[in-house]
Structure 1
Amino acid sequence: MDFCRVWTAVSLLAAMLLGACGDGGAPDAPRKVNEQRRAALEDTIADNPDDIARRVELARVAIKLGDGVGAEAAVRGALGAGAKEAALRPLLARAYAMQDEGNRALETLDGGPIIPEMVGEAAWVAGDVHLAGGDLDAAREAYDRAVHELPRNSALWVDVARFRDANADTLGASDAVDYAIELDKANSAALAFKANLVRTEEGLKASLAWYDDALAADPDNEDALIEQAATLGDLGHYRDMLTALRHAATIVPRDPRLFYLQAVLAARADNYQLARSLLQRTRGELDAQPSFMLLSAIVELELGGEAVAATWADRLLAEQPENFTARRILAAAEWADGDADAALAALLPLVQRPDADSWSLLLASRSAAELGRRIQSADYLGRAAALAPGEAVPFAADNDYGLLTMAADAAPLNPAYAIPAISADLSSGNGARAIARATRLRDANRGVADAHILLGDAALAGGRTDLAVQAYRAARDLDASERTTLRLANALFRAGDAAGSGAAILALQRSQPSSIAADRLSGHLAMDIEHWDQAIAHFERVRRRIGNRDAVLLRELARAWAAKGDDTRALPLIDRAYRLQPLNAGIMEFYADLLERRGKNQAAADLRDKAAQIGR
């Protein structure tokens, strides 16, 4: 082999390689074009096995097609034909990374010299590997090096945006992806990631146009198709969702996300047997994802697999101890399995809160009664019947105040130390100090929604409603989801701005039509201004999602129908509410009124007598 020819080929390939290593599997052109190019390259190489340039181009095309195995084979073929490892080491590392062999990719990068033209690519691959492995500090250093070498590479800026998003830096992620689009307006991966960010920042509907743009740039972008499908499902556009999933299935038929999203759709249709079958087809690849664990727990509970449901809920709680839905599922599974003690243990972190929901309190009451704890059972039952939960406690400190504050003072910008110290400050009545700590964190992380939420929570707990409203507004500008908008609505209401609070809720309902909380609160707003049809529409959407197990929802629906003069529809609803909460005086009084209007005076009198006895 003529080594002068080899090095000449390497120099000619450098420009090609600069775009090859970091595409991260996201194609720059429609898949069909790349598949046709791969076939042509394979034919050329078959005729001329020593053509290094064509082998390297083949590796590049394989990466665009998401084929890590094919990329590795092409790189090895080029090396076998005489190419220098120093030129191809980053490309080989990318191939390994695409096969989820991150350690092997890093070892390859560290295994020898890399030509100057490929230093940026090597740093880029290292950044992607570190990001996938959760080492954000190492990823930051690697991406900084990559951007220094390749400042105008659009695909690289998409990965920088992903890194910033993983750091909860919404503003930084948005800036990075906007720059990626500025550099290449046809970058489908950039447009799809922009859609994901818009979905968080502005809502589901606002993101659809960006997904359309991404798919116009590359109709076969499987990530865009799958994310679009998920968004359409959340909007209730199930036919369009299935269309997107079917298209994605022609490209990546074994992608576990396809089966998961179809399982979500099946569960929403109450077809839990189909949902279980679809979840099993993911082959364990999504088992570590919280959303997968939650859906698996729900499906197994509905199918009578209480022990399996409890296992999934336990696994999720190990990852997310504050996941109240998982805790309720665990309690329900344990109760259905006949273990009242375990059910009560699962519920204790919920029922000990002043804002405990009535469902949890009712199950806790039954569990306590089963265990012979009558006084405890009666207390839970009374709180459940009141249908009036207290205020949520945003912070809870468990450790020594002095130790917590000392640790936070030593590292004021470390959330792991600052947040417990804020809790301790609030618990000890030092609200001003708590707000000061939260302000420092916010000032250092203005592009992070969580930093603004933390300040808002501290301000609200510390009695600074005005500051809480400002902080929550800033958070909502970065993240328009329930967690920010409902906080803002609550703070506005506390500040005396009922109109602003209502506007925030209605904006959430418009941007996130699948939000149960938004529909529920919008229904209450409609009730307040006597827009009965609107209230019914909102409450019925919630009822279709959760069923007939919410006494307050059923009571409000009954009130709305009664206000419209339709007692025939109101009576079955208030009857269901009464059966759920037979000790709630307000439900009994309203039920009695309806019965009396239907001429059932004795039944009405009996209910009023019962309500009076409970009130004594």
Structure 2
Amino acid sequence: MKYAIRLSLPLAAALLLAGCGASPEERLARAEQAYAAHNYSAARVDLASVIQEAPENAKALELLARTYIDLSDPVSAGSMLERLGRLGKLPADAAILQGNVDLMLGRYDKALAAVEGDGSAEAYRVRAIAHIGLGDTAKAGEAFAAGEKAPGSKGRFLADYASFQLENGNLAEARRLAELAAAEKPRPLNSYLTSADLLATDNRLDKALTIFEAGLKAYPESRAALLGKIRVLDALGKNEAVRPLVTKALADNPGDLDLAYFDARLDALDGKWQVVRDKLQPRESVLEQQPQANALYARALLELGQGEQARARLTSQLLREPDNRQVRLLLGKAELSLGDASDAVETLEPFAGLPDATNEELSLLAKAYKAAGRPDAAAVAQKAREAAGARIVSQLASADKAIRNRDWQTAIGDYEAILRQTDGNNVLVLNNLAFAYTRVGDQAKALTFAEKALRLAPDNASVMDTAGWLLHSTGKDRKRGLALLEQAARKAPDNATIASHLAQARKG
């Protein structure tokens, strides 16, 4: 009995094109090459066209099952496996393939059943992830530990084991496993993702970005690697690099909520709240599936004076995510904007018991107390000021340590956080931030902060040196840069760094 494949119109058109001029054997060979290059969409088209002509071609059916798994389409993958089963031509690792299908469909008990009796590392990987899905991390840990000693390919297993250790805070073990996974040939996609996540955890964002980019080069259709790259660029503040990536990806995948969130977030950073609302409003019914997008949409509503709508959306989200501090803060703001001080107090009061409560959280709570006529409003406001001061001292210490350790991204993160929590005019912070940005190669941002520091402290030798050297080294204004370096040298004649910069600037 022959089985027909139901096709969407775009895929049907692609199949017609795929079949033009090439024999089934040529298309199968082409699909094998595309699959090896991780171009799964191209492989799918050729394989589907082959199967359309030869429904019992087991080689094509098997490769298409693997392709669908790599495309995260478990339903279609399962269908291919069923057809292979009816033909009596299941591959040797059919249990692993079926286990992966069941994992993607959330059928964790079936995944465990599928690999029962299989002693390979990949089978232990399926078991471990199934136990995680069932909420049993202890059994997951046991499966991972047993799998490391099991035979067979271990690349994907090691990467997932590293992620498991990372999630459980065992960073040293996670790094060990990630290094082993990265050494596997060919390197699996999840190895790139895990290595990048570990680097991001260490705040080594530039290196994390490099790994995500390498993953995208090896796996050009990977949504996970693309989103990882976008998140790191966003964390680095490189919005000009994020926008074209998001625009192109969203055009190819208009229903992707993660991409829709980043698209709207770029406008939020520019204060374009009406644009944010207009972009997210058509997705209102599904925004709850993406908590960040839902909170951003609620904030846009709040910024546009639609407090009731914002409150309704945030109330629902906070019930689902009671530990989400951003949502709690936004809901408190919405309630205060509507004049509901007592509700705001009830929403915001959990911040009072948090040892790491921020100045913003405690200040809003103090405002709610005052609006509600609470006598302890002044005490909470004082606590907010003390928390802000302690946090800034801690961040300054962290940033200074990062500078000494040449951990530029940590320094940048800490210094920028200090600027956000203060009036943004601390000359030392601005100057050090300019220096840190030079070390990560972002001369434009470095010069922006250096110029601001210079405006605030035009007679400070270190500030003149930073700005002068940047003006010279970037070529933006060499004449002014040289003049600043000469002034700095006169004010601090014993400063070796300033003297070195001046000597180099004089050479042109």
TM class by shorter chain equals: 0.5 to 0.7
| CA distance in 2 between partners of 1:516 and 1:281 (Å) | 38
Match of 1:259 in 2: 260
Secondary structure of 1:110's aligned partner: helix
Cα offset for 1:136? 1.9
Alpha-carbon distance change, 237 to 301 in structure 1, aligned in 2, over 3 angstroms: same
**Conserved 8 A contact 1:330-1:346:** yes
Match of 1:102 in 2: 106
Cα offset for 1:169? 2.2
TM-score, normalization by structure 2: 0.66
| CA distance in 2 between partners of 1:524 and 1:339 (Å) | 30
Match of 1:37 in 2: 43
Alpha-carbon distance change, 504 to 281 in structure 1, aligned in 2, over 3 angstroms: farther
The one-letter amino acid of 1:106's match is D
Cα deviations across residues 449-469 of structure 1 (Å, max 9, x unaligned)? xxxxxxxxxxxxxxxxxxxxx
Secondary structure of 2:56's aligned partner: coil
Cα offset for 1:135? 3.2
Cα deviations across residues 80-113 of structure 1 (Å, max 9, x unaligned)? 2224699634323322333xx222x5326427x8
**Conserved 8 A contact 2:131-2:137:** yes
Match of 2:401 in 1: 503
Match of 2:431 in 1: 534
Map 1:94-493 → 2, pairs under 5 A: 94-98=100-104, 101-103=105-107, 105-107=108-110, 109-110=112-113, 116=118, 120-150=121-151, 152-184=153-185, 186-249=187-250, 252-279=253-280, 287=288, 291-292=292-293, 294-311=295-312, 313-314=314-315, 324-350=325-351, 363=364, 367-373=368-374, 375-377=375-377, 383=382, 387-389=385-387, 490=394
Secondary structure of 1:149's aligned partner: coil
Q: CA RMSD in A?
A: 4.4
Cα offset for 1:177? 1.8
**Conserved 8 A contact 2:362-2:380:** yes
Secondary structure of 1:220's aligned partner: coil
The one-letter amino acid of 1:72's match is G
Cα offset for 1:141? 3.1
Alpha-carbon distance change, 45 to 287 in structure 1, aligned in 2, over 3 angstroms: same
**Conserved 8 A contact 2:243-2:266:** no
Cα deviations across residues 126-177 of structure 1 (Å, max 9, x unaligned)? 3233334543223223334444434542122222222222222222222222
Alpha-carbon distance change, 44 to 244 in structure 1, aligned in 2, over 3 angstroms: same
| CA distance in 1 between partners of 2:192 and 2:240 (Å) | 23
| CA distance in 2 between partners of 1:512 and 1:166 (Å) | 25
Cα offset for 1:302? 1.6
**Conserved 8 A contact 1:508-1:518:** no
Cα offset for 1:230? 1.4
Map 1:570-581 → 2, pairs under 5 A: none
Alpha-carbon distance change, 28 to 38 in structure 1, aligned in 2, over 3 angstroms: closer
Match of 1:582 in 2: none
1:520 aligns with 2:419: yes
Cα offset for 1:563? 5.4
Cα deviations across residues 522-561 of structure 1 (Å, max 9, x unaligned)? 999995xx659638979xxxxxxxxxxxxxxxxxx99996
The one-letter amino acid of 1:107's match is K
1:77 aligns with 2:83: yes
| CA distance in 1 between partners of 2:388 and 2:92 (Å) | 65
Cα offset for 1:71? 0.9
Cα deviations across residues 394-447 of structure 1 (Å, max 9, x unaligned)? xxxxxxxxxxxxxxxxxxxxxxxxxxxxxxxxxxxxxxxxxxxxxxxxxxxxxx
The one-letter amino acid of 2:262's match is L
Match of 1:90 in 2: 96
Q: State the aligned residue count.
A: 411
1:61 aligns with 2:67: yes
| CA distance in 1 between partners of 2:131 and 2:144 (Å) | 10
Alpha-carbon distance change, 532 to 152 in structure 1, aligned in 2, over 3 angstroms: closer
| CA distance in 2 between partners of 1:148 and 1:164 (Å) | 17
| CA distance in 1 between partners of 2:168 and 2:454 (Å) | 46
| CA distance in 2 between partners of 1:106 and 1:253 (Å) | 34
The one-letter amino acid of 1:41's match is L
| CA distance in 1 between partners of 2:186 and 2:140 (Å) | 26
Unaligned regions of 5+ residues in structure 1, if any? 2-26, 393-485, 539-556, 566-616
Alpha-carbon distance change, 307 to 77 in structure 1, aligned in 2, over 3 angstroms: same
The one-letter amino acid of 2:336's match is W
1:49 aligns with 2:52: no
| CA distance in 1 between partners of 2:93 and 2:352 (Å) | 62
Cα offset for 1:226? 1.3
Secondary structure of 1:183's aligned partner: coil
The one-letter amino acid of 2:402's match is A
Alpha-carbon distance change, 284 to 90 in structure 1, aligned in 2, over 3 angstroms: farther
Alpha-carbon distance change, 280 to 71 in structure 1, aligned in 2, over 3 angstroms: farther
Cα offset for 1:300? 3.2
| CA distance in 2 between partners of 1:522 and 1:356 (Å) | 13
Alpha-carbon distance change, 282 to 390 in structure 1, aligned in 2, over 3 angstroms: closer
Cα offset for 1:60? 1.2
Alpha-carbon distance change, 563 to 164 in structure 1, aligned in 2, over 3 angstroms: closer
| CA distance in 1 between partners of 2:311 and 2:266 (Å) | 22
**Conserved 8 A contact 1:127-1:138:** yes
TM-score, normalization by structure 1: 0.55
Cα offset for 1:350? 3.8
Secondary structure of 2:88's aligned partner: coil
Relative contact order (C-alpha < 8 Å, sep 6+): which is higher?
A: 1
| CA distance in 2 between partners of 1:344 and 1:284 (Å) | 29
Alpha-carbon distance change, 45 to 283 in structure 1, aligned in 2, over 3 angstroms: farther
Alpha-carbon distance change, 72 to 301 in structure 1, aligned in 2, over 3 angstroms: same
| CA distance in 1 between partners of 2:54 and 2:354 (Å) | 73
Alpha-carbon distance change, 196 to 307 in structure 1, aligned in 2, over 3 angstroms: same
The one-letter amino acid of 1:181's match is A
**Conserved 8 A contact 1:52-1:83:** yes
Alpha-carbon distance change, 158 to 378 in structure 1, aligned in 2, over 3 angstroms: closer
Cα deviations across residues 223-247 of structure 1 (Å, max 9, x unaligned)? 1111101111222222321233345
| CA distance in 1 between partners of 2:44 and 2:128 (Å) | 27
Cα offset for 1:358? 6.2
**Conserved 8 A contact 1:97-1:129:** yes
| CA distance in 1 between partners of 2:416 and 2:65 (Å) | 49
**Conserved 8 A contact 1:365-1:380:** yes
